[in-house]
Amino acid sequence: MPDMPTEDLRAVIAPHAPLIEYYADESERHRWVRGIFDSTASDYDRVEHLLAFGSGHWYRRRALQRAHLREGMEVLDVGIGTGLVAREALKIIGPAGRLVGVDPSPGMMGEIRLPGVELVAGRAEALPRADMSADFVSMGYALRHLSDIAAAFAEFHRVLRPGGRLVVLEITRPKSRLAMVGLKAYMRLVVPAIARVVAHNRRGTSELWRYYWDTIEACVPPETVVQALKDAGFKRVRRYVELGIFTEYTGFKPR
């Protein structure tokens, strides 16, 4: 009997179990997630700026530099959203570089104002890009919204050129119980309350940030993400943590 292709044997790794407070089951998850992001896109940057106390742009740029993003690279930003990570990447790669953004939400991509960036509708688990077409793959705070981490990481490996690098940014649960309680209260109560004041879509934006916390709390542990990157073929996989909650997963595709 012939050997089965590796991808056919790969187990699905969901980032978390279905969150039935928001959608009935996994079959409805993608539709619900796309809908909530589409409907709140115009409020996203404003609330994110408040959430990060204005420091988000600085942190994202430093994270990209730590992952060895360099001038002139061709970048694929997966889950580009409103372009928060892409904006900092463009400052590093300069005019000699190139950036392509992929996202399933047309509402979010409609908020992007970044000249020269190519925007493509698509999902991380089936990237609409050619093999070995990027030097660098980034994904900012979108891992928790995937349907299959293993499939996404296999796609990241496929589209990278040999020697290409990867960074996945995420918010992860703090180790301290006190910090966990404080972060939960901040993201599930304080941020939604702020959203109800400053957002245009007050109800939807408030719900989005409550959902954000629930995905953080339910997400698979970092060890699972690290192992999934290794299983996808990435080498020198590392996890770096800033301020106890901001995680950077990095790795590279061997030559």
Q: Which fold has domain 9-174+222-252?
A: Rossmann fold (3.40.50)
Condensed to tens digits (0 to 9), the pLDDT of residues 152-171 reads 999 999 999 999 999 999 99
pTM of model > 0.85: yes
**Phi, psi at 241, each rounded to 5°:** -120, 130
Distance set, CA 227 to CA 38, 49, 58, 138 (Å): 32, 32, 29, 18
The residue count of the chain comes to 255
| pLDDT higher than threshold 60 for residue 53 | no
pLDDT at site 10: 73
Q: Please report which confidence band the pLDDT of residue 25 belongs to, taking 50, 70 and 90 as the band edges.
A: confident
Strand partners, 118: 100
Q: Please report which confidence band the pLDDT of residue 5 belongs to, taking 50, 70 and 90 as the band edges.
A: very low
| Domain limits, the chain | 9-174+222-252, 177-211
Question: For 2-16, 47-61, 73-87, 215-229, which range has the lowest pLDDT when averaged over its residues?
Answer: 2-16
Return the structure tokens found at 255. Answer: 């030559």
Instruction: Please tell me the distance from the alpha carbon of residue 144 to that of residue 152, in angstroms, as a whole number.
Output: 12
Condensed to tens digits (0 to 9), the pLDDT of residues 184-239 reads 998 888 888 888 888 889 899 999 989 999 999 999 999 999 999 999 999 999 99
| pLDDT higher than threshold 70 for residue 240 | yes
| pLDDT higher than threshold 50 for residue 7 | no
Condensed to tens digits (0 to 9), the pLDDT of residues 96-149 reads 999 999 999 999 999 999 999 999 999 999 999 999 999 999 999 999 999 999
Of 53 and 35, the structure prediction assigns the larger pLDDT to 35
Instruction: Please tell me the distance from the alpha carbon of residue 233 to that of residue 130, in angstroms, as a whole number.
Output: 18
